[in-house]
Amino acid sequence: MKTYKIAAIPADGIGIEVIAAGIEVLDALAEKTGTFKFQFDHFDWGSDYYKKHGVMMPADGREQIKNHDAIFFGAVGAPDVPDHITLWGLRLNICQPFDQYANVRPTRILPGITSPLRHVTGPELNWVIVRENSEGEYAGVGGRVHQGHPNEVATDVSMMTRSGVERIIRFAFKLAQSRPRKLLTVVTKSNAQRHAMVMWDEIAAEVARDFPDVTWDKMLVDAMTMRMTMKPETLDTIVATNLHADILSDLAAALAGSLGIAPTANINPERTYPSMFEPIHGSAFDITGKGIANPIATFWTACQMLEHLGEKPAADRLMRAVERVTADPNLHTPDLGGKATTRQVTDAVITALQG
Ligand code: GGG
């Protein structure tokens, strides 16, 4: 029997609760499938680790997880540690060195969930957002001088490389090609940002020549927010920069019902390093410890992880179970307007795996 070695890093806040739920569900699925099992290795990195050791993860942290088949990640962020420390110290400290440059964010309206868009009942909204995950606005290039002085200057340079842009656009074209509608929208702000964003447009046109069966168009990010809201049915696969896609995918999650159901996969397509799977949401300290965090995003990203591991039938089985559960409004957590607990949703998904 195949054993998948998974590095579990729940990190902060509700990350700890949803990853525990995800592990339970994955173990139940493996048991029912009978052809593979998981070995979860637990790493206590995150904000509490930072308060004890002054770092979010140990210096040899990546060395400890680099041979795992995948990383199952919760969320970072704590009220008493600055957000840039938690994000750069852990999540980006894994994604960027492990070259997980393709961040894949599927969004659709699951059964039983109501979109805030009155004209959207389901099939009109079925997207995958591809977020460039290694450079751009998150390149970490910049600086600050004369701190606290009226003449203070601070910069965050959005740095884009031809190779970085080409590989993410190629990834997005391939993904669009694999989906029934073969439709890609490339998002930039190339009217205002006249260097790197113009390079995006040029590279998109070059890469498009290799995908004649994919229909593609370009959108400015501001107009894109309107199109997502007013004409969601005209979109399918979407590719955007690190920051633009981060913002668009929060909008997408809200339009699909809740951030609590939105998954993401940080993929290293070359498989030189392990890929990392996580819910899009953060640590949500306002609901931490209340037992009401929505575990659906984590279950959905577990499906992404199973698919990445080559276990597509198991991924489909878990997704069917998730959809059976979301179809019942009595099993909706408060973010979806219901009263169900993390425990109830987790138990219901495990029961639904029978089918
Ligand atoms: N599970 C996702 C997570 O923990 N996100 C925290 C966060 O601050 N993300 C910002 C970003 O990735 O841009």
Q: What is the atom index within ligand 1 of the atom nearest the CA of 15?
A: 1
Tell me if 243 CB under 6 Å of ligand 1.
no
Q: What is the atom index within ligand 1 of the atom nearest the CA of 278?
A: 1
Q: What is the atom index within ligand 1 of the atom nearest the CA of 283?
A: 4
If one residue of 9, 73, 91 were mutated to test the ligand 1 pocket, choosing by the most ligand atoms within 8 A of its CB, it would be: 91
Residue 354 has pLDDT above 90, yes or no: no
Q: What are phi and psi of 6, to 5 degrees?
A: -115, 130
Per residue in 69-79, pLDDT (tens digit) is 999 999 999 99
Rounded (5°) CA angle 185-189-191 = 115
For residue 137, how many other CB atoms are within 10 A of its CB?
18
Tell me if 87 CB under 6 Å of ligand 1.
yes
Q: Which residue's C-alpha comes closest to atom 5 of ligand 1? A: 282
What's the pLDDT score for residue 237?
A: 98
Tell me if 208 CB under 6 Å of ligand 1.
no
ipTM of the complex: 0.96
Rounded (5°) CA angle 20-22-25 = 110
Residue 23 has pLDDT above 80, yes or no: yes
Q: Taking residues 315-334, what's their average pLDDT?
A: 98
Per residue in 297-306, pLDDT (tens digit) is 999 999 999 9
Between CA 302 and CA 4 the distance in angstroms is: 13
User: Which domains, ranges and CATH numbers included, belong to the chain?
Assistant: 1-103+263-355 (3.40.718.10), 115-142+151-256 (3.40.718.10)
Residue 355 has pLDDT above 80, yes or no: no
Q: Is 48 exposed, middle or buried (0-12, 13-18, 19+ CB in 10 A)?
A: middle
What is the DSSP secondary-structure string of 4-34? EEEEEEEESTHHHHHHHHHHHHHHHHHHHH-
CA 282 to chain centre: 11
Q: What is the atom index within ligand 1 of the atom nearest the CA of 73?
A: 1
Give the global pTM. Answer: 0.97
